Structure 1
Amino acid sequence: MFKSDYATLARPAILPDSSNRSGLPAFASVGDVLRAYEGDDAIFVLYPKKIAAAARTFLNGFPGKVMYAVKANPHPTVLKTLWTAGVRHFDVASTREVDLVKAIAPSAKLFFMHPVKSRAAIRHAYAEGVRDFSFDCIDELHKILEETGYPGDLNLHVRLALPKGDAVMPLSGKFGADRSEAVDLLTSARPHVAMLGMTFHVGSQCLNTDDYGRALAWAREIADDAGVKIDSIDCGGGFPVAYPGMSPRPMSNYFSAIKEALAVHGFEDIQVLGEPGRALCAQGGSTLARVELRKGTDLYLNDGSYGSLFDAAQCAWKFPVKLHRSAPREADNNTAFRFFGPTCDSLDVMEGPFELPGDVEEGDWIEICHLGAYGQALASRFNGFFSETTVAVMS
């Protein structure tokens, strides 16, 4: 994978706790990575310092408990970095995510916030100490109570369906109880739980801070209709990242909007949760993809939509890109390129356009940035193209 003398190129990894606990080859720069690499696959890069910085932003600013949505990037180094930075709560959605977090951070508090779970997953999670579960229908409530044995120590969270907001990727339609259903669920669950809460998700990549205020106002109306004690409110995820063509407001604006709405709607004195995923890890990861062939303004890469570029293909997101030349050349003016992935599937295309210097050629590497969220996590092994190479870059 790496040249036998790569250790002379690598620099000591300095994670937030001043020691390299990532277990990854650690380098001072992407250039060092590429000079050392002898493999044929794409390379996943993690930037632990960026992940730790994002964690501190939320821990210092979000008006409640910060709960990392593991689905965004479950890589052990990401989880270790967040734990070291101070994140103590994790949102899990499967038995494997429960086991993964418990193995890395045994004392972490886990919240099983997937509204639909198998009975086996509920039993396993409860046996592993999970007490927080979400649900959005009466059958799921019955499943949770039955599989945990009506223990009296559960903290249950009713997932609310929200009116349409301004998120880039709306999440309505699959999960969430409407207003009347939510009222019935709250009243049905109250006698059986230690804590009762409500949870919602404004949609992925939310660009309007007002969406959180509207969601909290909606939750207040439902709580009032139910007339039962509410112990917690989970503001979900949706916290955005500045991808090209998207200009979210500073994260502090989101925190202020949520804090103000919590006070206005009478939720400031109960447990407040948030589920950032993308915002904690997106800018902390990238993919290094090699150019295998150039046809005009089409670049054929060794990673694509069946790898870490799913969002670039399916959602047409224009991720930031950087060119790493295979040999020194005079810089050229930028050109708009389209990417093709390595598989035989003609759907393996990322339209972009992606702005790169016009002198791109075979053998160059392109760093596709902001892929720390939903990049490596979505990569498949289709057609035999995949990468098992992840490195840490400490710049």
Structure 2
Amino acid sequence: MHTYATPYNIVRNLQPELPTYCFRPERVTAAARWFVEKFPAQSFYAVKVNPALHVLDALWEAGIRSFDAASEKEVQLIRGRFPDARIAFLHPVKPRHAIERAYFNYGVRIYVTDSVAELNKILEATNFAQDLTILVRIAVSNEGSALPLSGKFGASTAEAAEILRLARRHADEVGVSFHVGSQAMKPSAWAQAMADASRVIIEAGVTVDIVDVGGGFPAIYADKTPPEMDDYVAMVMRSFENMFVLENAELWCEPGRALVAESESLLVRVDLAKGREIYVNDGSYGALYDAVHEGWKFPMRAISGDGRKLGRMVEYTVYGPTCDSADMLPGKVWLPAGLTEGDYVEIGNIGAYGRSMSTQFNGFGESEVAEVQDSPWPSLYVSAVGAEVISIGSMATN
């Protein structure tokens, strides 16, 4: 991977034909070290959020040693890359053969369930192993999250209590888990969820070794600035102290977006300009899935392809590259006037889910990656971030 001072240098030197991820490893380092040093919980990175090897390596280098896998492929990826990693298979529904291979071939001992049927499947696929850790996922409110995740998974209080009692008979360790929803903007969401989890434990009448507070920890976007991360930790720790658990119970979490959203931006090329309409080489079937389908607002800046000074900000309609007329950003996007073929737009803080949601529809989906050293986008972990998010015309190079 080549390193450049800024994305402007990439444009000047390469004029890239493919969408190019601009990787900022120091952002991964800052986020990972924050979780390792300031959050007294075992952090399991959610691999699905960004499985790029350079991102995984940066997390490992910064101290992340545990990983949340949602599929057998993710289990294989992490075990092959980091033989000593701790892996938890945390998809609530897993194929029987995947559980068997995860246990016997890849040494995975941690599994989640939200039903008796799935628990029985885990027990049978592992030949009723004596060294299992079973987490029971309970349903909790997703109020205050940008993307609720409560519709598909999570056991009710009565169901979860029954699963806990059954798991306690067979597993070496048992715990409770939940997910407050993606991009949770209210720390109080964890207080309510942990109170609900405590009631489940009391209802079950069993000892619990682990409380997994899941993911949902937020990132900064153009229209979403969450509270300070310290507020989330304080709320979780206060709530943990009030839970009905063993004094030596472990606290776990599953950060994904919060660890890697700031790690990458995406440099896209303007392939056609028709007045206030521009067509770029990535879109709703690529890394901009969340921007189109979930309406997320990412910070953006424009870079002229020929070094000219760009004009005042105006509203554009932005289309992606496919033949599908729905491949367009919702609403209008503010960018400099006069954009034309060969100019570029950088879309910031797209390190979470951008890469992993990209498809090959219409033969698109290929991309490149380069490391950059600038810090134009807001950060939850780095104070005094440098540049303002504006359009870039002619700039001095370093």
CA deviations 1:328-377 (Å, max 9, x no partner) are: 33342212222110000011111243222223222111001111010011
In the alignment, is residue 375 of structure 1 matched against residue 354 of structure 2?
yes
Structure-2 separation of matches of 1:137 and 1:390: 41
Among 229, 233, 241, the alignment partner of 1:263 is: 241
Gap change, CA 1:326 and 1:388, over 3 Å in 2: closer
Instruction: Name the counterpart of 1:44.
Output: 21
- Letter of the aligned partner of 2:38 in structure 1? G
Specify the SS of the correspondent of 1:349.
Answer: coil
Give the TM-score taking structure 2 as reference length: 0.91
Unaligned runs of 5+ in 1: 1-23
Instruction: Name the counterpart of 1:325.
Output: 304
Among 55, 71, 92, the alignment partner of 1:78 is: 55
Instruction: Name the counterpart of 2:204.
Output: 226
Tell whether the 8 Å contact from 1:318 to 1:354 is kept in structure 2 after alignment. no
Between 191-200 and 24-33, report the one with greater CA deviation: 24-33
Unaligned runs of 5+ in 2: 375-398
- Give runs of aligned pairs for residues 147-296 of structure 1, distance below 5 A: 147-267=125-245, 269-296=248-275
By how many angstroms is 1:269 displaced? 3.4
Instruction: Name the counterpart of 1:89.
Output: 66
Structure-2 separation of matches of 1:385 and 1:352: 23
Structure-2 separation of matches of 1:390 and 1:329: 25
By how many angstroms is 1:39 displaced? 4.5
By how many angstroms is 1:292 displaced? 1.1
By how many angstroms is 1:36 displaced? 3.0
- Letter of the aligned partner of 2:53 in structure 1? P
- Letter of the aligned partner of 1:206 in structure 2? A
Tell whether the 8 Å contact from 2:304 to 2:310 is kept in structure 1 after alignment. no
- Give runs of aligned pairs for residues 352-391 of structure 1, distance below 5 A: 352-391=331-370
- Letter of the aligned partner of 1:31 in structure 2? Y
Specify the SS of the correspondent of 1:292.
Answer: strand
Specify the SS of the correspondent of 2:356.
Answer: helix
- Letter of the aligned partner of 2:335 in structure 1? L
By how many angstroms is 1:137 displaced? 0.5
CA deviations 1:57-104 (Å, max 9, x no partner) are: 111221211110000000011110000000010000111111111121
By how many angstroms is 1:297 displaced? 2.4
Q: How many residues align?
A: 372
- Give runs of aligned pairs for residues 98-137 of structure 1, distance below 5 A: 98-127=75-104, 128-137=106-115
Tell whether the 8 Å contact from 1:318 to 1:352 is kept in structure 2 after alignment. no
Specify the SS of the correspondent of 1:378.
Answer: coil
Instruction: Name the counterpart of 1:341.
Output: 320
Structure-2 separation of matches of 1:105 and 1:242: 29
Gap change, CA 1:287 and 1:340, over 3 Å in 2: same
4+ aligned runs moved over 6 Å, structure 1: none
Specify the SS of the correspondent of 1:45.
Answer: strand
- Letter of the aligned partner of 1:191 in structure 2? R
Structure-1 separation of matches of 2:37 and 2:223: 28
In the alignment, is residue 59 of structure 1 matched against residue 30 of structure 2?
no
Structure-2 separation of matches of 1:58 and 1:205: 16
- Letter of the aligned partner of 1:57 in structure 2? W
Tell whether the 8 Å contact from 2:12 to 2:305 is kept in structure 1 after alignment. no
By how many angstroms is 1:266 displaced? 4.2
Q: CA RMSD in A?
A: 1.3
Q: Give the share of equivalent positions with the same residue, in percent.
A: 40
